[in-house]
A = this chain, B = another copy of it.
């Protein structure tokens, strides 16, 4: 089985205060291919219209939210539980970074033949997870942030975890295959030869001995931008226009 068929991490928001944040979390999750969102005792109840607009096109994430009264019930069918927290010194639970957590989840899922269901808990906006909620976690997850300013908002914390999960999946794209057709170098070379002739006529090369070196430098500059045929035509047109004023 491929990883795409397998179970993805479940995001669990515990006692979230603002519905707008739930919507923003849903959007951030879907950006990174996650779509299972659970709520534990959201302050303003559920469903909540305030979450819909911030979710933009992630409406199906919002519509399939499940609500639980307690953390214990929300994680009951999960195999690994992580707790996102900035307070990493208060419990005797191993601490991993978001990147490490994401990689652990992928490997646990693969080892289990796709049956492993990881979950990650995020606490209320103002206070974060309390010790009781954190005690359900087998790992604490933290973000190694600027030590002078670690306060992340809820949706941004969910985004960073989701991004790490998405970026570290096996088939993660590492670079974009660009649909770019560079001109055959003969076209660029033809331009550069013509440029050299016109520069000679214009008295640009005050020192004949240095002329080859100067042209090498000019060629380096243009080769580096690896122009398309259309761009070489533009360069030819510019040259033609500039010298045409002679006539």
User: Which of A's residues lie within 8 Å of B, judged by CB?
Assistant: 24, 27-28, 30-33, 56-58, 88-89, 92, 94-97, 99-100, 142, 144-146, 148-153, 155-156, 159-160, 163, 166-167, 172-176, 178-180, 195, 198-199, 201-204, 214, 217-218, 221-222, 224-228, 230-231, 234-235, 237-239, 241-246
A30 to B244, CA, bound (A): 54
What are 11 A-B contacts defined by CB distance under 8 Å?
A97-B174, A97-B176, A142-B176, A144-B167, A144-B176, A145-B166, A156-B159, A214-B234, A217-B231, A224-B224, A243-B245
- When C-beta atoms are compared, the residue in chain B nearest to A228 turns out to be B92
A142 to B174, CA, bound (A): 11
Give which listed residue, B172, B176, B231, contacts A92 with CB less than 8 A: B231
Find out whether the CB atom of B179 lies under 8 angstroms from the CB atom of A89: yes
A245-B24 in contact given A31-B146, A159-B159, A231-B92 (Cβ < 8 Å): no
A214 to B231, CA, bound (A): 10
A30 to B227, CA, bound (A): 38
Chain B residues with CB under 8 A of A202: 241-242, 244-245
- When C-beta atoms are compared, the residue in chain B nearest to A223 turns out to be B225
- When C-beta atoms are compared, the residue in chain B nearest to A30 turns out to be B149
Find out whether the CB atom of A178 lies under 8 angstroms from the CB atom of B238: no
Chain B residues with CB under 8 A of A239: 242
| Shortest beta-carbon distance from A99 to chain B in Å | 7
A204-B238 in contact given A95-B178, A166-B146, A246-B246 (Cβ < 8 Å): yes
| Shortest beta-carbon distance from A231 to chain B in Å | 5
| Shortest beta-carbon distance from A178 to chain B in Å | 5
| Shortest beta-carbon distance from A126 to chain B in Å | 12
Find out whether the CB atom of A150 lies under 8 angstroms from the CB atom of B31: yes
Find out whether the CB atom of A204 lies under 8 angstroms from the CB atom of B146: no
Give which listed residue, B27, B56, B204, contacts A237 with CB less than 8 A: B204
A99 to B164, CA, bound (A): 11
Find out whether the CB atom of B225 lies under 8 angstroms from the CB atom of A231: no
